[in-house]
């Protein structure tokens, strides 16, 4: 009797061991298949597919994991979305049991997507593994969407930045034409007219260059040049002439900068300040150029210093608002001249600083003096 009981116990232990072995092998096999499916799913994410294309590409993998249907609905940049993959609604209803998973994927106001997945089971290890795949799919779609919307935001921001530059470049050019017309109308004698014609002849190449840059920008072919060594004395004199100003340049310096960035900075600066000087002809602008040698790990810097008389609206300008966009101290001003001048210098690795005093506004333009 005891022997029979022992034999039965031994047989039960053997059967239990075999059962555990089979279950272990079966679970190992399922985990291996799941790992392969997961790797294949992640490889889809590396293909840089459109967000809506990821669902169709991933569906065969999800179907093998027991998912019966994938439904993608919502709004894609103003267009309705409805993608249905897998079994129809009738087949789902016929199943004894099923489990739903919902994911909402949104991108501000442009994209609203809902992923609905239906699985033939709702419990056990099959369900747990399938659930992980579904979450990875939702993450892949959301990541792809974020990447594209961030690229769109960056592109729109860049276009907006360029539009601001173009808008102010157009205003500068119109202001120059207005000054030329004013000076031309003020000529009362032939010698005065001849003097103005010679000045215009001297300014013509620079004005043509600025006009060509504006035409290129409006044609969405912005002019871009590589940095190089620039004689600041020549450049500031020409930029001042284009604004109708005769300046006195003290000292000399060279800067390592892209000509287009320096031209934009000087054009915006002089066009913004020219009315102050033109309203007080006795105050001839003086610009001081100097080289600040390298020291203590700081690279050599070229500097331009100038002092502009205060405009009549000076009492309305707070020091912290000098470079604030759209904060103009002059009626009809765009409030972008000083802001864009500083942005152009910063893009070139330099900076523009300003300070208010009782006698005027002091500016200091800094630029790299040598190649990096």
Give the Cα separation of 125 and 133 in Å (integer): 13
Last residue of a domain, one of 136, 152, 168: 152
Task: Identify the CATH number of the domain in which residue 54 sits.
Answer: 3.30.450.40
Q: Is residue 345 part of a domain?
A: yes
Q: Both 349 and 239 in a single domain?
A: yes
Q: Is residue 297 part of a domain?
A: yes
Task: Identify the CATH number of the domain in which residue 357 sits.
Answer: 3.30.565.10
pLDDT at 305: 94
Q: Is residue 86 part of a domain?
A: yes
Q: Is residue 210 part of a domain?
A: no
Q: Both 333 and 231 in a single domain?
A: yes
Q: Is residue 5 part of a domain?
A: no
Q: Both 271 and 364 in a single domain?
A: yes
Mean pLDDT, consecutive 10-residue segments, the chain of 372 residues? 63 64 59 79 82 88 89 81 77 58 82 89 74 87 80 59 64 70 80 80 73 65 73 89 83 92 86 73 79 87 89 58 64 63 88 85 92 85
Q: Both 261 and 363 in a single domain?
A: yes
pLDDT at 190: 81
Domain encompassing residue 335: 227-372
Last residue of a domain, one of 152, 186, 201: 152
Q: Both 364 and 247 in a single domain?
A: yes
Q: Both 148 and 270 in a single domain?
A: no
Helices (H), 219-304: 232-242, 259-278
Q: Both 136 and 247 in a single domain?
A: no
Q: Both 146 and 258 in a single domain?
A: no
Give the Cα separation of 52 and 81 in Å (integer): 9
Q: Both 135 and 232 in a single domain?
A: no
Structural domains counted in the chain: 2
Q: What is the CA radius of gyration of the chain?
A: 36
Cβ neighbours for 314, distance < 8 A, ≥ 6 positions apart = 329, 356
Last residue of a domain, one of 113, 135, 152: 152
pLDDT at 351: 92
Q: Is residue 8 part of a domain?
A: no
Q: Is residue 18 part of a domain?
A: no
Q: Is residue 4 part of a domain?
A: no
pLDDT at 334: 47
Q: Both 367 and 253 in a single domain?
A: yes
* CA distances from residue 207 to 144, 171, 234, 285 in whole angstroms, order as listed: 46, 13, 15, 21
């Amino acid at each position: 009797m005891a022997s029979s009981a022992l034999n039965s116990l031994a047989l039960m232990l053997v059967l239990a061991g075999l059962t555990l072995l089979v279950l272990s092998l079966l679970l190992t096999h399922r985990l291996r298949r799941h790992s392969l499916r997961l790797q294949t799913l992640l490889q889809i994410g590396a293909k840089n597919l459109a967000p809506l294309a990821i669902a169709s590409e991933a569906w065969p993998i999800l179907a093998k994991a027991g998912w019966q249907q994938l439904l993608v609905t919502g709004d894609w940049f103003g267009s309705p979305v409805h993608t249905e993959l897998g079994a129809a609604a009738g087949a789902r209803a016929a199943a004894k049991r099923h489990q739903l998973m919902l994911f909402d994927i949104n991108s501000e106001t442009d994209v609203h997507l809902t992923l609905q997945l239906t699985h033939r089971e709702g419990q056990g290890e099959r369900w747990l593994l399938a659930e992980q795949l579904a979450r990875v799919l939702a993450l892949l779609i959301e990541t792809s969407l974020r990447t594209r919307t961030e690229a769109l935001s960056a592109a729109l921001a860049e276009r907006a930045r360029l539009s601001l530059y173009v808008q102010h470049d157009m205003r500068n050019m119109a202001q120059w034409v207005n000054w030329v017309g004013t000076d031309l109308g003020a000529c009362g004698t032939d010698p005065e007219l001849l003097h103005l014609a010679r000045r215009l002849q001297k300014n013509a190449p620079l004005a043509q260059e600025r006009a060509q840059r504006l035409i290129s920008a409006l044609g969405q072919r912005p002019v871009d040049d590589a940095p190089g060594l620039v004689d600041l004395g020549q450049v500031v004199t020409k930029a001042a002439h284009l604004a109708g100003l005769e300046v006195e340049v003290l000292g000399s310096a060279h800067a390592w900068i892209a000509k287009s960035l320096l031209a934009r900075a000087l054009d915006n600066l002089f066009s913004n300040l020219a009315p102050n000087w033109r309203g007080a002809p006795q105050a001839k602008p003086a610009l001081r150029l100097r080289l600040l040698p390298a020291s203590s790990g700081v690279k050599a810097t070229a500097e331009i210093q100038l002092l502009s008389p205060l405009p009549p609206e000076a009492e309305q300008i707070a020091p912290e608002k000098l470079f604030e966009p759209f904060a103009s101290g002059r009626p009809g001003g765009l409030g972008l001249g000083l802001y864009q001048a500083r942005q152009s210098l910063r893009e070139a690795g330099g900076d523009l600083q300003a300070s208010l005093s009782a006698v005027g506004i002091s500016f200091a333009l800094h630029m790299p003096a040598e190649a990096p």
